[in-house]
Chain A
Amino acid sequence: MTLLKLERVTRRFGGLLAVDAVDLEVAAGSVTAVIGPNGAGKTTLFHMISGFQTPNDGRILLDGHDITGLPPEKIAAHGLIRTFQLVQLFRDLTAVENVKVGCHLQTQGGVLTALIRPKSARQSETQVEATARELLDFVGLAAYGDLPAGTLTYGRQRLLEIARALAARPKLLLLDEPAAGLNAQETELLAATIRRIVARGTTVLLIEHDVTLVMSIADRVAVLDFGMKIAEGTPRSVRDDPAVIAAYLGTAEAARA
């Protein structure tokens, strides 16, 4: 079953075609990776899927719903939650509070509920606390729950951001270069975490530079270059694709220059 479907999604910046009529399908329960050299349009593509930028052309369907051009909060409500290339934590809040914010869509209540604090709200808060602690434990951060998020190491901040995203119970989790800035050991831990996320039933779509990570966890890989999809397939088939090798290493002429 297809969870996310992109149909000829296009984005122009002035005369530049950042993303040029890209088609993509993400199967439910899979790990799909979008790779490509710097400036290939990966980030723009992600921004369009998550609602932070609007496509000039094309359609984006999530679980059959047309989410093209919806604002990020509406797309999140449809079950698509993203993380950021540069970690966007609430640095002054503790780790557990960060994850609690992730429960926003799973809970209800505004100003009046906060003031009156009815029984349902108290029960919901207990549930939120339990969920947050459980997710911290899931990503291996149980010991750091009460520390301000900004004081965690970079690798732990990445894991915390993933735990926070999971709190929203996404159907589709978008990870924007999750291995950026991580060392080999941290990347290994990340790969294991992503595998366990998929095992829980969450579909994962990620952009990644780290080819080792992609090869070890992705079921399918799409390759972007100059805004166009130049290859798609299993990690193995993509790795051996001459077009991909040319995009990453340059053509023979460029390599000699």
Chain B
Amino acid sequence: MPTSHNIISPERLTALAPGLPWAVAIAIVGYAFIAGGYLVTVMSFALIYAVFVIGLNLFMGYAGQVTFGHNAFAALGGYGSAVLTSAYGWPPLGAFAAGLALALAVALVVGYPTLRLKGHYLAMATLAIGLIVYEIAVQWQAVTGGYMGISGIPPIGIGGFDILSDRAQLIFLALVVALSTWSAMRLRASRFGRALAAIAGSEDAARALGIDVARYKLMAFLVSAAYAALAGTLFVHVVGFVSPEVFGLHMVVLAFTMLYVGGIGTAAGPLIGAVIVSLLPETFRALKDYQDLAYGAGLILLLIFAPKGLAALGDLLPRSKKS
């Protein structure tokens, strides 16, 4: 294949490739910050979802497991924060800690028995917990406000300093995503992360090497539930409102889309997936009646041409060079 007319050599492209998804995501968020307006809101949602998807990626990408109910942990974190800050006047950080503890306790109760089983039991159990938490949010009106939800949730603030403007929130969320990504990468590049990757590769081989598979699956489940709870808390504070629909099953569908479009099992996948999938409907809004069609077609094209996700696109470069 003639490549001589390319200004940038393929070798340099290959070397730069791993940084590309990060650069694109940062550029889009940076542009939103400068442009302001509605795009800031879209990107704020994208970043909140990125935190959720980072957790999902840990459990599904690194450890190779399946969960359909992580929206439950986002709901527990979100409602915990919403109720404690708005009705009881707790500071956001304390309310977050309480919501996180609640989410982890529920994850432990659900995960302990089911993660010992092989196959689809966990997937079914997680689906059930997602639906149960949704029903509780609807029915327990005295605390959750039922379908009407809870409004007037205060913004995020630490020690009397509130983060009020849209732009300040975007920066704060970007910092949280950076921290979440960093922590997930540290987890992956460790003995713990290797054990998860081993379980994803072959449970039998992992056990034969002394890895307590049930225990590590449970730990991965708890850690990913913690990211989900954090995302739930961020959501209610940024929007100032929560209702059961916010953490409905569509949250799972959207997060799965982001995970697979971005690249499951990759470090940059959750962020680039969340940013791109959030932008797609906005990009096609001008098409009016056809926007859903265009959105669907866009997703299909992405999965055909980047089956391992956008974050893995860079890996294709050296291979296409050889072929």
Q: Is the CB of A91 within 8 A of B209?
A: no
Contact of A115 among B187, B198, B201, B205 (CB under 8 A): B187
Q: Is the CB of B207 within 8 A of A76?
A: yes
Tell me the complex Cα distance, A168–B205, Å. Answer: 12
Docked pose: A82 CA to B208 CA in angstroms: 6
B210 surroundings in chain A (CB, below 8 A): 73, 76-77, 81, 104-105, 168
Q: Which chain B residues border A51 with CB–CB below 8 Å?
A: 207
Chain B residues whose CB sits within 8 angstroms of the CB of A97 once the complex forms: 194, 197
Stretch at the interface among A106-114, A189-197, A202-210, A243-251: A106-114
B160 CB to nearest chain A CB (Å): 28
CA–CA, A73 and B265, complex, Å? 25
The interface size of chain B toward A, counting residues with CB under 8 Å, comes to 28
A178 contacts partner chain B, Cβ-Cβ < 8 Å: no
Question: Is A154 located at the chain interface by the 8 A CB criterion?
Answer: no
Whether A121 and B195, one on each chain, are in contact in the complex, defined by CB atoms closer than 8 angstroms, is no
A93 to B201 CA separation, bound complex (whole angstroms): 8
Q: Which of A71, A93, A104 contacts B191 (CB 8 A)?
A: A104
B183 surroundings in chain A (CB, below 8 A): 115
Beyond A101-B197, A104-B209, A104-B210, is A110–B219 a contact (Cβ under 8 Å)?
Answer: yes
Q: Whole-angstrom distance between the alpha carbons of A216 and B59 in the complex? A: 46
CA distance A104 to B211 in the complex (A): 7
Question: In the complex the two chains form, what is the Cα distance from A164 to B213 in whole Å?
Answer: 17
Chain A residue numbers with a CB within 8 Å of B25 are none
Could you tell me which residues of chain B, from 188 to 225, have a CB within 8 Å of some CB in chain A?
189-195, 197-198, 200-202, 204-213, 219, 223
**Within A76-132, which residues are at the interface with B (CB < 8 Å)?**
76-77, 81-84, 88-93, 97, 100-102, 104-105, 107-111, 113-115, 117, 121, 124-125, 128
User: Residues of A contacting B321 with CB < 8 Å?
Assistant: none
Q: Which residues from chain B contact A91 at a C-beta distance below 8 Å?
A: 201
Residues on the B chain within 8 Å of A100, using CB: 194
Number of residue pairs spanning A and B whose beta carbons lie under 8 angstroms apart: 104
Q: Is A227 among interface residues, defined by CB-CB distance under 8 A? A: no
Contact between A121 and B204, CB atoms less than 8 A apart: no
User: Is A50 close to B, CB under 8 A?
Assistant: yes
Is B187 a contact partner of A101 (Cβ separation < 8 A)?
no
- Contact flags B167-197 to A (C-beta < 8 A → 1, else 0): 0000000000000000100110111111101
- Evaluate contact between B191 and A107: CB separation under 8 angstroms: yes
Give the distance to chain A from B203, nearest Cβ to Cβ, in Å: 9
Binary CB contact string for chain A from 32 to 75 against chain B (1 if under 8 A, 0 otherwise): 00000000000000000011100000000000000000011100
Minimum CB distance partner of A117 in chain B: B186
Task: Return the chain B residue nearest A101 by Cβ.
Answer: B198
Neighbour of B212 across the interface among A73, A102, A124, CB < 8 A: A73
Q: Report Cα–Cα, A109/B192, bound state, in Å.
A: 7
Residues of chain A at interface, number, CB under 8 A = 40
Within 8 A of A (CB), among B209-245: 209-213, 219, 223
Contact call A105/B209, Cβ cutoff below 8 A: yes
Decide if A238 is an interface residue (CB 8 Å cutoff): no
**Chain A residues, CB < 8 A from B194:** 97, 100-101, 104
- Known contacts A101-B198, A104-B211, A105-B210, A89 near B205 by CB under 8 Å: yes
The distance from the CB of A15 to the nearest CB of chain B, in whole angstroms, is 27
B197 CB contacts on chain A under 8 angstroms:
90, 92-93, 97, 101
**Contact call B208/A81, Cβ cutoff below 8 A:** yes
Given A90-B197, A97-B197, A111-B219, A76 contacting B191 (CB threshold 8 A): no
A117 to B204, CA, bound (A): 28
Q: Point out the residues of chain B lying under 8 angstroms from A89, CB to CB.
A: 201-202, 205
- Residues in B neighbouring A83, C-beta threshold 8 A: 208
Within 8 A of A (CB), among B100-122: none
From B222, which residue of chain A is reached at the shortest CB distance? A111
| A165 on the B face (CB < 8 A) | yes
Task: Sample 24 A-B pairs with CB under 8 A, ordered by A number.
Answer: A72-B207, A81-B208, A82-B208, A84-B205, A84-B208, A92-B200, A92-B201, A93-B197, A101-B195, A101-B198, A101-B211, A102-B209, A104-B195, A104-B198, A104-B210, A111-B187, A111-B223, A113-B190, A114-B186, A114-B190, A117-B186, A117-B190, A165-B209, A168-B210
